[in-house]
Amino acid sequence: KNEVEQSPQNLTAQEGEFITINCSYSVGISALHWLQQHPGGGIVSLFMLSSGKKKHGRLIATINIQEKHSSLHITASHPRDSAVYICAVRSIQGAQKLVFGQGTRLTINP
């Protein structure tokens, strides 16, 4: 079993829908990252969380440390949100290392 599991692996939705991507992990962590990878391949850091919730524009990330679970929400989704969303954790033992989930491929149709 991978240390970081994401669901769903693929998600297709219509423009305007509310999107939720989930991430579960099995190790103690010091931080969790949400990354976005566009079709061109570049990777952008969206959020880094150690507790609670963060919001940036239409994106919201939450984390529940006790349940070892995080969610990434997108409100009023748009075709430009189409990308692969990757969850990564920095384990307490691993210091600076990031362990990545397999990613969720999101497609938003107009």
Positions in the binding site for other proteins (CB under 8 A): 30-31, 33, 35, 41-45, 48, 50, 86, 88, 95-103
Residue among 10 and 14 whose Cβ is closer to other proteins: 10
Question: Can you point out the beta strands (E) in the chain?
Answer: 4-7, 10-14, 19-25, 29-37, 43-49, 52-56, 59-64, 69-74, 83-91, 98-100, 104-109
Residue among 12 and 30 whose Cβ is closer to other proteins: 30
Residue among 27 and 48 whose Cβ is closer to other proteins: 48
